[in-house]
Amino acid sequence: MMVCNVLSIPLARSSAGSFAQMARSAVQATRGVQVPKVALDEPPLTIHTLGDAVLRTPAKRISKVDESVRDLARDMLRSMYSAHGIGLAAPQVGVHKQLLVIDLDPENAATPPMVLINPEIGSFGAAIETYEEGCLSIPGVYLNVVRPAAVEVTYRDEMGRPQRVKADGLLARCIQHEMDHLNGVLFVDRVTDELSLNEGLQEKGFQRADVHSIR
């Protein structure tokens, strides 16, 4: 289930000299946070990896959705596309804000990414699924994780508007995976197969001691 946001153009108060600001606001709203879906030689943000303390620090709610937040989302998208990922959370780039970007269709320039600000899961589906996950913060490690198959999530979009989405399949898993980052949790913390976990980490040079297992 893929969800695309429809952007609206905000209205400015009519006053002398306000036309230019209204035009700028209209362009920003129409553009949203879409950036070219290409890999950059020098992405704007560094993605931290397992063992870095920043990944274990809980993120704070965003009090105001403004252009600085949209700029951060754009830089996160550029960095995510450069790393060939489909999801990225602000703590992964050392920013402790409740902001996620997701794009399950990175090869299609016409598909807009999702931007989730201050996301909250309102409910989980009854079914659970086991599926292999990977993470840009633990490159090269892919392990099975059990998660609910469906979720209902509320959040603010890139223009600060409240949104609600019911997601299943890959989108539901990706949302849960990225939201874990907002609480300092990594997917390897949820892996129950200790043998596979230890082997996967060792093969890529990561330390088992940096995993905070959830049981």
Domain assignment present for residue 202? The answer is yes
Q: Note if 120 is an active site residue.
A: no
Which residue is catalytic, options 67, 152, 158, 178?
178
pLDDT digits (tens, 9 = 90+) for 94-118: 999 999 999 999 999 999 999 999 9
Domain assignment present for residue 45? The answer is yes
Q: Does the pLDDT of residue 48 top 60, yes or no?
A: yes
Range of the domain at 45: 33-207
pLDDT digits (tens, 9 = 90+) for 128-156: 999 999 999 999 999 999 999 999 999 99
Domain of 72, CATH number, reads 3.90.45.10
* Cα-based distances in Å from 211 to 108, 184, 186, 192: 35, 11, 8, 12
Which regions of the chain does DSSP assign to beta strands (E)?
87-89, 99-102, 114-124, 128-133, 143-148, 150-156, 162-168
